[in-house]
Amino acid sequence: MRISLLLASLLTATLAQAAPPVFSFGAWGDMPYAKNQDATQTEAVIRSLNQSDIRFSLYDGDIKDGSSSCDDATFTRAAAMFNRLKKPLIYAVGDNEWTDCHRLNNGGYDPLERLAQLRQVLANQPDSFGQTRLALTRQGPLGGKFAENVRFSYGGVVFIGLNVPGSNNNLVLSDKECTHKSARTLVQCQAGNAEYAERDAANIDWLRSGFAQAGQQHAAGVVVFFQADPGFDLPETEDVDESTLPQYKGYRALMQALTGLTEQYAGQVLLVHGDTHFFKVDKPLYSPTRVLPNLTRLETFGSPVNHWVRVTVDTRRPEVFTLTPVMVR
């Protein structure tokens, strides 16, 4: 046991010391989904990642589909999948593994109980997943509250991982929504909304401290990664600002904080998320006709379209991040 721990620490140290001026990492998530029978495709994605020259990968949540059981085996299967990666894998929490577990077709679990179990299984170690490891700083104690929020610095870039899931960030807007096709009680939904408020505040604090670290280190870039599509004003509709719709209310405080921090930051910011399963690269803030110049959004592929995205980092270039979709046969 001591030998394996020593080996893991040596691998972590070696990886951290070997960060080159130009490197790549992978971004992927929202797979495998049993309902889409895409386990074989997901294995192909893992093989492709393992055969690449990336230094590590970010998985932006949803380790299963939204209509299957949320049993304990879901978490252990995800850990086993992540540990098949040869390079470090850093996990951000999705909604299908806890927020949506109240659904009757998920087994009617209490989402807060599932979140506690998830933290025990998937946020209980000081480093990443993978056959080589990367040291992480966690916001909370191992396996405890907010342990899933992580941060690390690599190659002149600060990476910030947050628990920001789909389904409106676990914010319930009405009694009808609470009980629709759900095993939740109104008391559980009240507890869920209290959880949302506490976690949202913690996420914003973690975001701010991450940007402060980037400023102190004179980092050329910041990568913020989480699961949810937080809602943006779409250019296709001139008269509607989709970011103000009720289903995105749970993200507004966080996105306002991200906007303000990006405005004050001299480097480039890359926002990586999944959730809606369509590969996108754009500049969605401030609005379709007036962009926030130093923020780029990457939305990763997701089931049943299972591929990954290579992000190349070159801190000598003003744009810092170059994004390339990797289409897996």
d(CA 218, CA 216): 6
d(CA 100, CA 112): 10
Cα angle 166, 232, 297; round to 5: 85
Find the mean pLDDT for residues 245-252: 97
Q: What is this structure's pTM?
A: 0.94
If we measure between CA atoms, which residue out of 263, 267, 266, 258 comes closest to residue 321? 267
Is residue 15 very low, low, confident or very high in pLDDT (cuts 50, 70, 90)? low
Per-residue pLDDT at 20 exceeds 90: no
273 three-state secondary structure: strand
Highest-pLDDT range among 240-244, 254-258, 288-292: 254-258
pLDDT in tens, 194-217: 999 999 999 999 999 999 999 999
Omega cis (within 30) before 165: no
The answer to whether 318 touches 329, Cβ cutoff 8 Å, is no
Cα angle 265, 271, 277; round to 5: 170
Per-residue pLDDT at 21: 82
pLDDT in tens, 86-144: 999 999 999 999 999 999 999 999 999 999 999 999 999 999 999 999 999 999 999 99
Is residue 6 very low, low, confident or very high in pLDDT (cuts 50, 70, 90)? very low
